[in-house]
Amino acid sequence: MAEIIDGRQLAKDVNQETKQRVDKLREQGIQPGIVVILVGDDPASEIYTRNKHRKATKLGFKSILKKFPADVDQATVMAAVEQYNADDSIDGILVQEPLPDQLDGLAITNAIRPDKDVDGLHPLNLGKLYANQPGHYPVACTPRGIMTMFDRYNVDLEGKNAVIVGRSILVGKPMAALLNNANATTCLTSIHTVDLPAITRQADILIVAAGSPHLIKEEDVKEGAVVIDVGINRLASGKLTGDVDFENVSKVAKLITPVPGGVGPMTIASLMQQTVDMAEWRHNG
């Protein structure tokens, strides 16, 4: 039976470390600042942004939740990004997805200053990650949180077969780069991959971020694998479930994340952690 990775407890530990770093910065007269831009009234986005705002405030950040109506135009959102780009009290800018159809999300992301791109989605930061360049730059928060899980649970990545299901720019692609940079042998797949189970069964480390409830079954997983479930799906019953059949896959895996309570809390903790990083980089080099 698998050991369950407790994302909630790990996030508490990371947040405690972050709070100590915030306190040290504030002793120097520096308060980390983050702004989250929310467009429209998508219920899930409302919850996510509110949770981020509350956590940032609790940790001692300057936190701004900037809301726009669903019918806002491109120029108004771009002007807000430029405002916070120029605001010296803001270290990190995040635009909550999804955005309404009339907005060009790519243009908005690309308008964020790379050194304030707390989500790690600017092409310059992605390029540095893929090139495995040295130096300071942000990376996508969910993959960063997963790498923290591997570190805290002593998961050895070197030489291991790592399979990622889902190729999004938020999770799959930066996750593949981070694993490659850690010397894992990485395979990036999707729900369109022919005979996907034949590939997932080879994985020592399996990360699933496809947005498909219970896509991965017990027979799709190698005995002793580490299984990270990024999926969050709401069933007709209202219950939240992941992309992995947790009950049965946990019989064969060595380590597994639950949904909820696994990757989700670590994503927010990593966002807070990275905002403090960016404040330290900006002020202390």
Domains with residue ranges and CATH for the chain: 31-111 (3.40.50.10860), 141-264 (3.40.50.720)
Instruction: Provide the pLDDT for residue 231.
Output: 95
Instruction: Provide the pLDDT for residue 43.
Output: 83
pTM for this model (two decimals):
0.96
CA 154 to chain centre: 20
Taking the chain (285 residues) in runs of 10, the rounded mean pLDDT of each run is: 97 98 97 97 87 96 97 98 98 95 96 98 97 97 98 98 97 98 98 97 98 97 98 90 98 98 96 98 86
What is the Cα–Cα distance from 117 to 245, expressed in whole angstroms?
34
Instruction: Provide the pLDDT for residue 44.
Output: 81
Q: What is the DSSP letter of 174?
A: H
Instruction: Provide the pLDDT for residue 56.
Output: 97
Instruction: Provide the pLDDT for residue 45.
Output: 87
Would you state the structure tokens that stand for residue 106, as one six-digit string? 């790519």
Instruction: Provide the pLDDT for residue 235.
Output: 87
Active site residue ranges:
52, 96, 119
* Per-residue three-class SS string for 40-105: CCCHHHHHHHHHHHHHHHHCCCEEEEEEECCCCCHHHHHHHHHHHHCCCCCCEEEECCCCCCCCCH
